[in-house]
Chains A and B, each alone.
Chain A
């Protein structure tokens, strides 16, 4: 079971890594740094709503955010095991990490649909 699951987890990891690399820096630059500092004005609430209005866009946002979370979960799983010596608890750590990613994906769905 574990053996057969692992390649798919790596696939989600690398897919999420690409999505995170392409989209997250510009989004955190805009919404997390430039807008709060007043360098760029916040878009109006109506404009932000319109951005995620199309169902196709909503679906894409959910998929993208979930992939990013799976990427992070996969790395956090192995890094925490290496740094903190938790290799013995791999099954538990894996459930916690991927579980959090699934929870984040479900949150995205409930927020957007």
Chain B
């Protein structure tokens, strides 16, 4: 990358490699990585949506919220948010054994057990929340 500079030009600016704007489209693994990172935008949206719901509950305007939620574009957006949050959940919970090594008496708990535990917790929390929301309604 470095080229010999002519005498008297030693102070010339260093060569800066041009940025590859499409670096994430060059390889499948990079595309998946970027897709995973972009789930965060829809995670933020989901929180905003839940805040809107909480606001409606506080103001007693849940009917209006339900009408807004039923608009086709809103349903489409939330289907996308569901896909993104589920993708986030799978990838994030699978990542856990890479971040933390659990040892019991020197025995290293294998990755699949930590991941299995995480996914079981996901299922349990989801079932509990669904039960709390849906019971007696």
Q: Do residues A36 and B78 form an inter-chain contact, with CB atoms below 8 A? A: yes
Q: Do residues B129 and A41 form an inter-chain contact, with CB atoms below 8 A? A: no
Please report which residues of chain A, range 1-39, place their CB below 8 angstroms from some CB of chain B when the two chains form the complex: 14, 17-18, 20-33, 35-37
Of A26, A35, A76, A112, the contact of B40 (CB 8 Å cutoff):
A76
Q: What's the Cα separation between A48 and B53 when bound, in Å?
A: 10
Q: What's the Cα separation between A55 and B57 when bound, in Å?
A: 15
B27-49 interface code vs A (CB 8 A; 1 in, 0 out): 00000001001111101101111
Report the count of interface residues on B (CB-CB < 8 A): 53
Interface of B is mostly: helix
Please report which residues of chain B, range 1-47, place their CB below 8 angstroms from some CB of chain A when the two chains form the complex: 19, 21, 24, 34, 37-41, 43-44, 46-47
Of A42, A51, A65, A79, the contact of B51 (CB 8 Å cutoff):
A65
Q: Do residues B85 and A104 form an inter-chain contact, with CB atoms below 8 A? A: no
Distance in Å from the Cβ of A44 to the closest Cβ of chain B?
Answer: 6
